[in-house]
DNA sequence: TGCACCGACCAAAGCGCTTTGGAAAACTTT
DNA sequence: AAAGTTTTCCAAAGCGCTTTGGTCGGTGCA
């Protein structure tokens, strides 16, 4: 007990001591040091030890740290100061067990071994989400799940209870995961939507169909009739909707749909390069390309430049632009005419909305549509001829 | 060996039961169903309930699930079967509290608000790491930390105890985080190294200096004298080392270092495009470019093509290639001559090594150098003139 | 003076798991 | 048949926190 008093006196004493002050304590053999620069302890300090040091009960210390009103202001300050000096922070697992809240959110990414379609978007989406989690005090736990193990995985995620909610990435057309998660009963939010299903789940999405409808209309208005679509695999919901928008615009203009002008695959530079090269070499090449990702669009531009053609004059290109930090679409005037919607912003919004859902499970599930503006860049112009 | 694996095996093995079988449970009013398709419970089943159901003690059920030898084979099967049917899997927080192991690994990414240098690499690195974690039964928790909050964050990460180890991304020259983590005493592994410091920590890296030395030598051997370097900001360790390799090759060839041929910044397409354009417009332009990322290299190629020049003839380009899934370096013959090392492979290796460290804290800290081969592509040729 | 009330604190009971230290039953051995 | 061994199981004590249901003085008020 004497050691504890000594510590208390010292703690209240004020200036941090540069010397390593050691205080023996009868209950533990650990040597306490008051300086963060000193030897690390074998094990972090816990609430019991902290409260013994302060000559307070665990109850009071816990309440002081968590901002409950039942503690005197002076006591609270003393507790906070000690916690700071001993670098105490509560064990998250124990806290989680006691409160029933994990304070972390799971991001589940389907790992189709064929197409890692989300890879290029990933860094930026996560960056946005993390910004939100940091302010909300949540952790982000990430799981990439092979397609065939998904169901098992979602069940476990609930039972294991180390996340309070899930963000679902890369929804597919008729994705069964929504129903699954609904049955399992874990709060979740979908980044994207599921075509062919009532929107009775929480989601954050953009209007892919409308975006590509407008993009295609724009190309048609410029006189283009042969417009190629370079899309992600159309089992992905977003890709399917983009295709619908594209086709709707062609139909309303009385332009037939030419399957030879549609190419699908991963969102890779080489898809853009390869598909554009191949199409441009045909007898009756397209005069415009519509791309589902700026990664693809850069490949298309390369194919165009390689042929000595000029993008925006000989060949027009419109792309969806996720505003990836490493592939900026020009500095002042955009390089590509694009339907633009920041994936990072989407990440932030998803995180915020899911945190709100968890905080208040009673409130209706949000269905948020982010804007996807059609912005004009230098990659489009009147169809030649 | 763990219950989770056992459960998984079962889940994949057996056919789902179509019938909804209800079993009353004396202690709780909940109706148990044996079918995943049935109504969700308000709260997942726990060990106590499961053991009451089986008329066994929690001890025995726990041991059966965790593969301990003290249970009869018949009993174990009975337990496993019930666990599968009730979709039981142990609460991770409780398990963590009891065992002292969180079964999860933290990835801490510095969030310099200026340069999000790791974004393009992120998706692929994480994909690799996740593959390893999945087999090891670990979760991946991700934290992006603003530069100025790092120290506090690392301290907390230990005290909060929800990760068993940390993978450190984006180490900088003289990075203080190594010492910090060492003092804190949490197992960690660095992806990369820290120049100007003894290598007494665990790391997985490539030999950036040697790679860029060889790359530069190759360009010199082709007759290039004016070789530009487009690098990441050189506070990043990998970028600093690449710069050293570049300079060493120039020095040994008696070529002076021209600061005007060195540009640093984010690993973005536009850096490549902008810097290359600007340099090529000079009276005495470089004949070759050395790029720190394939993202940059694509920008350089674009600048070259825009000028009607031919890459590999008029202008040579060598890049480091992280083998990003969405920016493949050609299909058969590589597009770019490159120092190649898969970031995804690095992710997998980091994860595996850290798991091994955690499993056996006694063993020496691994220092692993992954290969970075110089592979020849179509982007290099003899210097013109 | 007596009584209610309030402010400031505490002891102890969980949260769901693992693990220690038995203990009863089933076999062996002597 | 008694004594040891092995097998198979169990009760209960943690892990580190929160939270319930108090206690114990002091105040305010009649």
Quote the pLDDT of residue A41.
60
Q: Would you say the pTM of this structure is higher than 0.75? A: yes
Q: Would you state the structure tokens that stand for residue A210, as one six-digit string?
A: 């409308």
pLDDT at A349 over 80: yes
How far is residue B193's CA from residue B201's CA, in Å, rounded to a whole number? 9
Residue pointed to by tokens 């909804």: B20
Q: Does domain B208-342 have CATH number 3.40.50.2300?
A: yes
How far is residue A230's CA from residue A271's CA, in Å, rounded to a whole number? 8
How far is residue A226's CA from residue B209's CA, in Å, rounded to a whole number? 49
Q: Is A235 helix (H, G, I), strand (E, B) or coil?
A: coil
Nearest CA-CA partner of B176 in B130, B110, B127: B110
**Mutual orientation of helices A119-136 and A343-359 as an angle, nearest 10°?**
40
pLDDT tier for residue A330 given thresholds of 50, 70 and 90: confident
Separation in Å, CA B280 to CA B221, B228, B286, B312: 21, 10, 7, 15
Which are the contacts of B293, defined by CB distance < 8 A and separation ≥ 6?
Answer: B120, B232, B267, B319, B320, B322
How far is residue B8's CA from residue A145's CA, in Å, rounded to a whole number? 13
Quote the pLDDT of residue A147.
77
| Mean of pLDDT values over A7-14 | 28
How far is residue B37's CA from residue B17's CA, in Å, rounded to a whole number? 9
Give Dmax (Cα) for chain B: 91
Quote the pLDDT of residue A238.
98
Nearest CA-CA partner of B245 in B192, B100, A46, B253: B253
When comparing pLDDT for A44 and B343, which is higher?
B343
Decide if B104 touches A, using CB distance below 8 A: yes
Q: Could you tell me how many CB contacts below 8 A there are between chain A and chain B?
A: 211
Across the interface, which of A119, A148, A161 has its CB nearest the CB of B123?
Answer: A119
**B297 contacts B272 by C-beta, under 8 angstroms:** yes
pLDDT at B39 over 60: no
Quote the pLDDT of residue B149.
79
CB atoms within 10 A of CB A307: 16
pLDDT at B348 over 90: yes
- B141 and A143 within 8 Å at the Cβ level: the answer is no
A17 touches strand D (CB under 7 A): no
What is the percent of chain B with per-residue pLDDT over 70, rounded to a whole number?
A: 88
Nearest CA-CA partner of A162 in A182, A140, A181, A145: A140
Residue pointed to by tokens 């090392």: B341
Across the interface, which of B45, B96, B326 has its CB nearest the CB of A269?
Answer: B326
pLDDT, tens only, A262-272: 999 999 999 99
Per-chain mean pLDDT for chain A: 88
The answer for B179, left when phi > 0, alpha when psi is -120 to 50, beta otherwise, is: alpha
- Using DSSP, how many helices (H) and how many strands (E) does chain B show? 13, 14
pLDDT at B14 over 60: no
Q: How far apart are the first and last CA of chain B?
A: 67
Q: Which range among A28-42, B37-51, B364-378 shows the weakest confidence by mean pLDDT?
A: A28-42
**B336 contacts B329 by C-beta, under 8 angstroms:** yes
When comparing pLDDT for A297 and A156, which is higher?
A297
Beta-bridge partner residues of A270: none
DSSP string, A299-338: HHHHHHHHTT--BTTTBEEEEEE---TTS---SSS-SSEE
Q: Would you state the structure tokens that stand for residue B50, as one six-digit string?
A: 């499961």
pLDDT at B148 over 90: no
pLDDT, tens only, B102-136: 999 999 988 776 668 889 999 999 999 999 999 99
For domain A208-341, give the fold: Rossmann fold (3.40.50)
How far is residue B112's CA from residue B146's CA, in Å, rounded to a whole number? 6
| Mean of pLDDT values over B180-206 | 95
**B357 contacts B187 by C-beta, under 8 angstroms:** yes
Q: Is A9 helix (H, G, I), strand (E, B) or coil?
A: helix
pLDDT, tens only, B52-97: 999 999 999 999 999 999 999 999 999 999 999 999 999 999 999 9
pLDDT at B34 over 80: no
Q: Which range among A209-223, B10-24, B39-53 shows the weakest confidence by mean pLDDT?
A: B10-24
pLDDT at A80 over 90: yes
Q: Would you state the structure tokens that stand for residue B197, as one six-digit string?
A: 């410091």
Residues on chain A touching B90 (C-beta within 8 angstroms):
159-160
Reported CATH class of domain B104-206+344-370: alpha beta
Q: Do the domains spanning A2-90 and A208-341 agree at the CATH topology level?
A: no
How far is residue A54's CA from residue A82's CA, in Å, rounded to a whole number? 8
Q: Which range among A114-128, B28-42, B71-85 shows the weakest confidence by mean pLDDT?
A: B28-42
Quote the pLDDT of residue B200.
96
Question: What residue ranges do the domains of chain A occupy?
Answer: 2-90, 104-206+344-370, 208-341
| Mean of pLDDT values over B360-370 | 94
B75 touches strand D (CB under 7 A): yes
How far is residue B335's CA from residue A158's CA, in Å, rounded to a whole number? 46
pLDDT tier for residue A352 given thresholds of 50, 70 and 90: very high
Decide if A54 touches B, using CB distance below 8 A: no
Q: Does domain A2-90 have CATH number 3.40.50.300?
A: no
pLDDT at A115 over 90: no
Number of residues that this document lists for chain B = 385
What is the distance in angstroms measured between the alpha-carbon CA of A64 and the sugar C1' of D17?
Answer: 14
DSSP string, A91-133: -HHHHHHHHS---EEEEEEEE-SS--TTHHHHHHHHHHHHHHH
How far is residue A381's CA from residue B19's CA, in Å, rounded to a whole number? 62
Q: Would you state the structure tokens that stand for residue B299, as one six-digit string?
A: 């920008």
Residue B291 class from Cβ within 10 Å (0-12 exposed, 13-18 middle, 19+ buried)? buried
Domain B3-90 carries which CATH code? 1.10.260.40
Number of residues that this document lists for chain A = 385
**B18 contacts B11 by C-beta, under 8 angstroms:** no
What b/e sequence results for B325-363 when a residue is b if at least 16 CB atoms lie within 10 Å of its CB, and e otherwise?
A: bbbbbeeeebbbbbbbbbbbbbbbbbbbbbbebbeeeee
Decide if A235 touches B, using CB distance below 8 A: no
A72 touches strand C (CB under 7 A): yes
Q: Is the dihedral of CA B218, B221, B223, B225 positive or negative?
A: positive
pLDDT, tens only, B217-248: 999 999 999 999 999 999 999 999 999 999 99
Residues A103, A104, A105: CA angle, nearest 5 degrees: 135
pLDDT, tens only, B268-293: 999 999 999 999 999 999 999 999 99
């Amino acid at each position: 007990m004497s050691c504890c008093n000594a510590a208390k006196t010292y703690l209240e004493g004020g200036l941090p001591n540069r010397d390593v002050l050691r205080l023996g304590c009868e209950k533990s053999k650990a040597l306490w040091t008051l300086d963060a620069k000193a030897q690390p302890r074998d094990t972090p300090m816990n609430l019991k030890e902290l409260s013994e040091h302060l000559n307070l009960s665990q109850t009071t210390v816990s309440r002081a740290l968590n901002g409950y009103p039942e503690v005197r202001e002076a006591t609270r300050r003393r507790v906070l100061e000690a916690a700071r000096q001993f670098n105490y922070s509560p064990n998250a697992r124990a806290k989680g067990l006691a409160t029933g809240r994990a304070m972390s959110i799971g991001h589940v990414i389907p790992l189709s071994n064929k197409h890692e379609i989300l890879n290029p978007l990933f860094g930026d989406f996560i960056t946005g989400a993390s910004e939100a989690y940091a302010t909300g005090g949540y952790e982000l736990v990430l799981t990439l799940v092979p397609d065939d193990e998904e169901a098992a995985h979602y069940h476990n995620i609930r039972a294991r209870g180390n996340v309070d909610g899930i963000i679902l990435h890369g929804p597919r057309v008729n994705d069964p995961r929504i129903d699954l998660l609904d049955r399992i009963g874990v709060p979740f939010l979908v980044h994207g939507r599921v075509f062919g299903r009532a929107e009775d789940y929480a989601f954050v999405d953009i209007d892919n169909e409308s975006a590509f409808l407008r993009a295609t209309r724009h190309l048609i208005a410029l006189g283009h009739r042969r417009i190629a679509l370079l899309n992600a695999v159309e089992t992905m919901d977003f890709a399917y909707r983009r295709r619908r928008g594209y086709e709707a615009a062609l139909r309303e203009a009385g332009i037939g749909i030419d399957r030879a002008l549609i190419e699908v695959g991963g969102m890779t530079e080489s898809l853009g390069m390869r598909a554009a090269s191949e199409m441009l070499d045909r007898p009756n090449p397209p005069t415009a390309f519509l791309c589902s990702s700026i990664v693809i669009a850069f490949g298309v531009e390369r194919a165009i430049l390689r042929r000595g053609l000029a993008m925006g004059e000989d060949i027009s290109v419109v792309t969806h632009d996720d505003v990836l930090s490493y592939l900026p679409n020009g500095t002042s005037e955009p390089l590509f005419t694009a339907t633009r919607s920041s994936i990072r912003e989407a990440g932030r919004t998803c995180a915020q909305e899911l945190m709100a859902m968890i905080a208040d499970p009673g409130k209706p599930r949000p269905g948020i549509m982010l804007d996807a503006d059609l912005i004009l860049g230098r990659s489009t112009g009147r169809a030649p001829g």
